[in-house]
């Protein structure tokens, strides 16, 4: 199925998203912004995404209105027992055929494949479709266009069947570039796949705020008391984001004796569970569920610090957004947090506080170090802001798009 779009001059770009658990997520903003910039530059962009029917994302509709052609594939994930047999059939027999169909119809000059985690390399159809792909001049219409791959997250303990490794490595080695959002993800991929990774590159996701506005944001003004105002920003999904771990730490006698308040920003499947935990631990006077906030800058006008007790991550956008606003952060050493949160001796260059692992003892210790440095928080926030700017560089999305079409602008 395809909808919308009028063909324009320029190069033909096909973007394939493998996101199947939800209609949209944080992993999709990189390719969305890349697509918008490509369309604006006069290139013809086609999207291959799963068909969510009435739950179709507003972001897909927006790109379609800008001129993208949208092609949909049958869903291969379903929480419904009624629809599960059909999705299993699609997963087993039709996934490769649907990707190949969209490749054939789009006739792209370059393909961008956006994956959530490394585990999506086990999805049927993806590696096989691109096996033996040519990344140079195509000798026949049967050869594939050059392709690039993005990975957003991964489990530290992810394991791959040995029998699958060769086909996965062939797929990755055939890519022009394989982009990862943190250095930790590159290390994980090389270890877990026993992969040389010579074409691995670091890429930066767009942040959801006006960076010029964030750069000018001042430290929150006192509100008549000395209460430390924490925020935990992210999807309400405890197995990933670790909200129950944070509540366990804050329920201790030591933290109860201190003056602080915590707000969870975001929505997700575990909202009721987190609310129940707050009641059970008798933290209702300290901890609130604040819901989803579209304007991230509004969070940081009146809060001092971010806590991310995550079990796994890629490179958290919420961390980068807090740092851009000059706020202090405490996070667990998963994903790319160690790229950004650095505790130094001397402490003048500290950019945040890192818990060695997502365990209560380590999270509590990192929060304690942060608490004891409260008088330096404005300076740490400024150091965090400067470190983030240095890490991301100037205009990372523009640089990514430029690399994507490099070598394709031949007459």
* Residues 261/177, Cβ–Cβ less than 8 Å: no
- Domain 2-204+394-404 is found in CATH 3.40.50.2000: yes
pLDDT surpasses 70 at 221: yes
Q: pLDDT tier at 76 (50, 70, 90 boundaries)?
A: low
Residue 139: predicted pLDDT: 33
* 97, pLDDT greater than 90: no
Give the predicted TM-score (pTM) of the model: 0.87
Residues 6 or more apart in contact with residue 293 via CB below 8 angstroms: 265, 299
Q: CB neighbours (10 Å) of residue 189?
A: 21
Quickly state the pLDDT bin for 110 (edges 50, 70, 90).
very high
Q: What is the pLDDT at residue 123?
A: 80
Domain with CATH 3.40.50.2000 in the chain: 2-204+394-404, 211-392
pLDDT at 83: 44
pLDDT at position 4: 55
Q: Look up residue 243 and give its two tokens.
A: 């909200």
Q: Is the pLDDT of residue 104 over 60?
A: yes
pLDDT score at 88: 44
Q: What b/e string do you get for 342-353 counting C-beta neighbours within 10 Å, with b at 16 or more?
A: ebeeeeeebbbb
Tell me what pLDDT residue 406 has. 77
**357 token code pair:** 């692992």
Using DSSP's 3-state secondary structure scheme, residue 140 falls into coil
Q: What is the pLDDT of residue 344?
A: 86
Whether 153 contacts 312, CB under 8 Å: yes
pLDDT exceeding 70 applies to what percent of the chain?
Answer: 88
Nearest-angstrom CA–CA distance, 342 and 136: 41
Confidence of residue 2 (pLDDT cuts 50, 70, 90): low
What pLDDT, on the 0 to 100 scale, is given for residue 131?
Answer: 64
Q: In the predicted model, is pLDDT for residue 25 greater than 50?
A: yes
Per-residue confidence (pLDDT) for residue 46, from 0 to 100: 97
67, 61 Cβ separation under 8 angstroms? no
Give residue 87's pLDDT band: very low, low, confident or very high (50, 70, 90): very low
CATH T-level fold of 211-392: Rossmann fold (3.40.50)
Specify the pLDDT at position 154.
Answer: 93
Tokens of 365: 């210790």
- Strand order, beta sheet including 353-355: 287-291, 260-265, 228-233, 305-308, 328-332, 353-355
What is the average pLDDT across 298-325? 96
Torsion, Cα of 155, 335, 288, 55 (10° steps) = -60
- pLDDT at position 20: 83
């Amino acid at each position: 199925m395809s909808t919308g779009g009028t063909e324009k001059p320029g190069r033909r770009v096909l973007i394939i998203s493998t996101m199947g658990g939800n209609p949209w997520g944080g992993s999709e903003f990189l390719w969305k912004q890349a697509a918008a910039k490509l369309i604006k530059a006069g290139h013809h962009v086609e999207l291959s995404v799963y068909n969510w029917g009435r739950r179709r994302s507003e972001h897909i509709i927006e790109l379609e209105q800008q001129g993208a052609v949208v092609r949909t594939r049958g869903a291969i994930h379903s929480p419904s027992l009624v629809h599960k047999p059909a999705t299993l059939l699609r997963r087993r027999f039709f996934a490769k055929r649907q990707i190949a169909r969209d490749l054939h119809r789009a006739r792209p000059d370059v393909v961008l494949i956006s994956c959530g985690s490394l585990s999506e390399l086990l999805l049927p159809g993806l590696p096989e479709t691109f096996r033996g792909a040519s990344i140079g001049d195509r000798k026949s219409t049967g050869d594939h266009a050059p392709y690039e791959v993005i990975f957003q997250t991964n489990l530290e303990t992810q394991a791959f069947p040995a029998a699958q490794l060769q086909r996965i490595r062939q797929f990755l080695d055939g890519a022009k570039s394989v982009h990862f959002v943190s250095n930790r993800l590159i290390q994980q991929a090389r270890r877990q796949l026993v992969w040389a990774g010579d074409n691995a590159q670091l890429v930066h996701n767009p942040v959801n705020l006006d960076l010029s506005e964030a750069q000018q944001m001042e430290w929150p003004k006192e509100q008549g008391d000395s209460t430390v105002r924490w925020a935990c920003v992210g999807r309400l999904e405890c197995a990933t984001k670790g909200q129950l771990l944070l509540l366990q730490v804050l329920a201790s006698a030591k933290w109860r004796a201190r003056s602080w308040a915590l707000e969870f920003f975001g929505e997700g499947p575990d909202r009721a569970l987190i609310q129940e935990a707050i009641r059970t631990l008798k933290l209702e006077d300290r901890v609130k569920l604040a819901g989803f906030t579209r304007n991230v800058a509004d969070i940081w006008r009146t809060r001092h610090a971010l806590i991310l007790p995550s079990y796994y991550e890629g490179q958290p956008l919420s961390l980068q957004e807090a740092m851009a606003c000059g706020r202090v952060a405490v996070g667990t050493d998963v994903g790319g947090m160690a790229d950004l949160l650095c505790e130094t001796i001397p402490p003048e260059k500290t950019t945040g506080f890192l818990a060695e692992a997502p365990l209560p003892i380590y999270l509590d210790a990192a929060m304690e170090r942060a608490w004891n440095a409260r008088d330096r928080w404005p300076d740490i926030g400024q150091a965090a802001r400067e470190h983030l700017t240095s890490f991301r560089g100037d205009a990372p999305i523009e640089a990514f798009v430029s690399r994507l079409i490099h070598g394709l602008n031949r007459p």
